[in-house]
Amino acid sequence: MPRYKLTIEYDGTGLVGWQRQANGPSIQAAVESALAAITGANIPIRGAGRTDAGVHALGQVAHADLARDWRPDVLRDALNAHLRPSRIAIVLAEPVPDTFDARFSAVRRHYLYRITNRRSPLTLEAGRAWLVKRKLDAEAMNAAAQILVGRHDFSTFRDAECQAASPVRTLERLDVVREGDSIEIYASARSFLHHQVRSMVGSLEHVGAGKWTRQDLRAALEARDRRRCGMVAPAAGLYFLSVDYPKLSRDEAVPEGRDHSKQPGN
């Protein structure tokens, strides 16, 4: 069965998250319903990451096995036609080898957290950023963030219901950048614990507000105690940016007959 990689963008407002659930609409359920509409079959998809309720994505990745070959642009457009009027869109559909797995083939995941730091309420950014009214020192936040970079036991920044086998992760990047009223926090790692990014951001907010020092953040990390976490930042400011995968070798490349990018129709 031909396998396709789907790059997905979505506004998570009002959704229960990526994973299909009984208590509300999810991204997974919407895409699977669109696939069913165009193929007449129930086709499960696997995503690169399970974003929570209210979390957004610019580059979530999933894969699906279809019964026959599709021209990639036709598959993308057909899915988008059935996803309307939801705020979920297939940005790219690509044929991939059967060895590709959206979740297990990933070598790095990238997240962005957005803070709007001003007194005035949000209008256009409502539901898409965290409004923090007290003045934040982004330079102090960035300096403190580097304490968390590297391989650590992140138990302090791990949700109590996290199902990961180990709290140890290697954080490759955690940068805080300010431009005007906007503060953007970039995080990269092979994998993250449940609520890890939002927990780190909430604690960095304490540093920026002068409530914590760098050493307070270091002590919280080293305590390996969830009770020492500053807070969990709201879901609305979090974006799943993109996923990195290893380059395909010649032997792993999609067979020539599978690439229908130059063929008409479906």
Residue 262 covered by a domain:
no
Confidence check: pLDDT of 260 > 80: no
Let me know whether 55 and 170 are in one domain. no
- The answer to whether residues 153 and 171 touch, using CB atoms and an 8 Å cutoff, is no
Phi-psi region of 34 (alpha: psi -120 to 50; beta: other; left: phi over 0): alpha
pTM value > 0.85: yes
Measured from the Cβ of residue 208, the count of other Cβ atoms closer than 10 Å reads 24
The predicted-structure confidence for 176-200, as pLDDT tens digits, reads as follows 999 999 999 999 999 999 999 999 9
Domain of residue 66, residue span: 3-105
Residue 256 covered by a domain:
no
Question: Which residues are CB-contacts of 143 (< 8 A; sequence separation ≥ 6)?
Answer: 214
- Marked catalytic residue, from 52, 69, 153, 175: 52
DSSP 17: B
Let me know whether 229 and 130 are in one domain. yes
Cβ burial of 151 (10 Å; 0-12, 13-18, 19+) is exposed
Distance CA 162, CA 68 (A): 38
Let me know whether 56 and 153 are in one domain. no
**CATH number, domain with residue 116:** 3.30.70.660
| Count of domains forming the chain | 2
The predicted-structure confidence for 55-103, as pLDDT tens digits, reads as follows 999 999 999 999 999 999 999 999 999 999 999 999 999 999 999 999 9
Let me know whether 28 and 113 are in one domain. no
Let me know whether 16 and 133 are in one domain. no
Let me know whether 35 and 130 are in one domain. no
Residue 258 covered by a domain:
no
Distance CA 247, CA 253 (A): 9
Distance CA 175, CA 138 (A): 10
> Would you call 251 a catalytic residue per the annotation?
no
Let me know how long the chain is.
Answer: 266
Let me know whether 72 and 122 are in one domain. no
Confidence check: pLDDT of 41 > 60: yes
Let me know whether 117 and 213 are in one domain. yes
